Each structure stands twice: as C-alpha cells, then as structure tokens.
Amino acid sequence: MTVAFISHPDCEKHEISPNHPERPQRLAAIMDRMIASGIDGRLQHQQAPRATRDQLLRVHDSSYVDLIYANIPEQGCVWLDGDTAMNPHTVDAALRAAGAVVHGVDLVMARDVNAAFCSIRPPGHHAERNRAMGFCIFDNIAVGAAHALSEHGLERIAIVDFDVHHGNGTEDIFRNEPRVLFCSSFQHPFYPGTGADTVSDHIINIPLPAGTGSEEYRAAVEAHWLQPLDDFRPELILFSAGFDAHAEDPLAQLELVEADYAWITAQVKRVADRHADGRIVSTLEGGYNLSALGRSVVAHIEALIGNE
C-alpha cells in the first residue's frame, strides 16, 4: 500500500517557549524514529501547500480568520487563550498544517497514493468555528473533510479521533452535518470538558476514565465504533491521530501503548478497504512524550501500509 508522508519545514517555526509541550521537536522525533525503523524509505514524501482562505472559510467564520491574521505579532508571542499562542511564523505553520490535509485528500482521491499521514503542527481538533484553543489555530481535519465534501463530491466521510482529548472543535464544526460521522475517544473528565453528554446519530463519543488501558480501550472501540463505521459505509476516512493517550505521555492518564495504535488503525483500515477503496488521510494531533510519540507514529504508519 502506497502511503504519502506530508510535512513542511514551516511547521517547525511555530514555537511558543522551550517549556511548551507542543514544541517543534515533536516533528523531529517522528522523523528520527521513522529513519531508525527503516519505514522512512517506504513512504512517498510530499510538501504541504498552504490552505487557501476559501478552504478555511468552509469551516471557520470569516471574522475568526480575520482575527487570526490581525494578531500576527512582529516579534514575541500573542496569546489567544491560556495555552494557545502565535509567534510571527505561526500562521504560516497553521496554513501548512491545514493545507497538508487538503493535499492528502487530493492525493488519495486521485489514487496517487492509498493513504497519507500528515506530520504537521500546530494541531487542529480543538479549534472551533470561531475560537482557537488547546494549542490549535485552524481545525486541520475539518478543513480537509470539508474540501472532500465540496471539491470531490463525497457524501459520507468518517473522522476517527483517538487523541486523549475530546475533539470539541471538529464536533462543533460538523454538529449539523450528517455527511460526516465523527468518532472521538477521550479521557473524561478532562480538558476541554466536552463530549460526554453529546446526543447525535452521527457523533459517537467514547469518554474513558483515567487509568483506562489496552483491554478496556479495545473493548470500547469494538462496542461503539466498528459496527456504526461499517454501517455508515464511508467513502473516505480521516484520522485525528493524537498519541497523548500513551501511558508515557505527561499530559494525561490513559494507559495505551504502541500496539493499541496499530490495532485501532488496522480495525479502521478494514472499514476503509471495504467501503472507501482504502482511502485514509491521517493527521497529527497530540502526543508530547517525544520517544512515545515517535514509536506510536511508526506503529500507526506501519498499520496504514499493511501487508505488502
């Protein structure tokens, strides 16, 4: 299976402070582990384009996009909320991050590749239609999904979000869009405190208590996601791939390991193979222990490649 690896050097220029967990070294850790594992040479490397304003406006209010541009600092940082800030390079990085998912969608829809992994930052799934939060500026996965609906005429897209935090921004954007099946697993109660009480026929949230490990996680996915995903018959599947539910991650208290990311990827890949001609685009969200992040991404990509 041909998998594209989409990234851009601009994504490493977004830096808030040396102590901020969402730091440029995350992308270097992924690349280092890919090279060490030998998987790097099996991927088709692509550079992320910038998302256009029109692409952003499919999921964000124009006033919000204007606000982001108006707050670009000449030096230093501007804080948008308690943990989300911009330096002079952040908007370029955020445009590349959203543009990577758009590019990934175009690649898989053209059958240039079977799947794509977007190694980008800042992450996106907390960014709501008119609000930055949780390290996120633009909702990258939502921009890609909206592009697939608008430009490729798809009628059924599934988004699978296994970040340790609820994908509140993606849920906010697609709350009234039944063409998008949104599945999010997350620690609860935990930041941002949303998702546990959602009632919707196209949003399937799995709130998990602190301490949840592999066995409980897999059982919850089997019980709540796999059959609805199959029944939905998605024409494209997108992963919001956050690796901060790993047992070694410092920001949360779930107990997953690399094998769990390989497992969930393989389960969802089977659905994609049945209904979407294998088309998958995955984009990086969280994951803040550098070693665990690199190992987990390699496990995820290995599962995307599958048996060759």
pLDDT digits (tens, 9 = 90+) for 254-282: 999 999 999 999 999 999 999 999 999 99
The tokens describing 296, both together, are 């987990």
Answer for the pair 188, 166: CB distance below 8 angstroms, yes or no.
yes
Measure Cα distances from 215 to 72, 211, 274 in Å: 45, 11, 26
- Range 20-27 average pLDDT: 98
Is pTM, for the whole model, over 0.95? yes
CA distances from 273 to 161, 216, 222, 267 (A): 19, 26, 18, 10
Residues 196-211 have pLDDT tens digits of: 999 999 999 999 999 9
Peptide bond into 192 cis (omega under 30): yes
Tell whether the model's pLDDT for residue 308 goes beyond 60: no
- Residue pair 174/205 in contact (Cβ under 8 Å)? The answer is no
Give me the mean pLDDT over the 179-187 stretch.
98
Element (H, E) at 45: strand 44-47
- Active-site positions? 126
Provide mean pLDDT across the span 37-54.
98
Q: What is the pLDDT of residue 161?
A: 99
Rounded to a whole number, what is the distance in angstroms from the first to the last CA of the chain? 6
Is beta strand 115-118 parallel, antiparallel or unpaired with respect to 280-284?
parallel
The pairing of beta strand 3-7 with beta strand 115-118: parallel
How far is the C-alpha of 151 from the C-alpha of 139, rounded, in Å?
18
Q: What is the mean pLDDT of residues 57-68?
A: 98
Which pLDDT score, from 0 to 100, does residue 1 have? 75
Q: Kindly report the average pLDDT of the chain as a whole number.
A: 98
CATH architecture of 3-305: 3-Layer(aba) Sandwich (3.40)
> Which distant-in-sequence residues (6+ apart) come within 8 Å of 129 by Cβ?
59, 60, 61, 64, 169, 172, 173
Mean pLDDT of 19-28: 97
Residue 110 phi, psi (nearest 5): -85, -5
What CA dihedral angle connects 106, 285, 240 and 303, to 10 degrees? Answer: 90
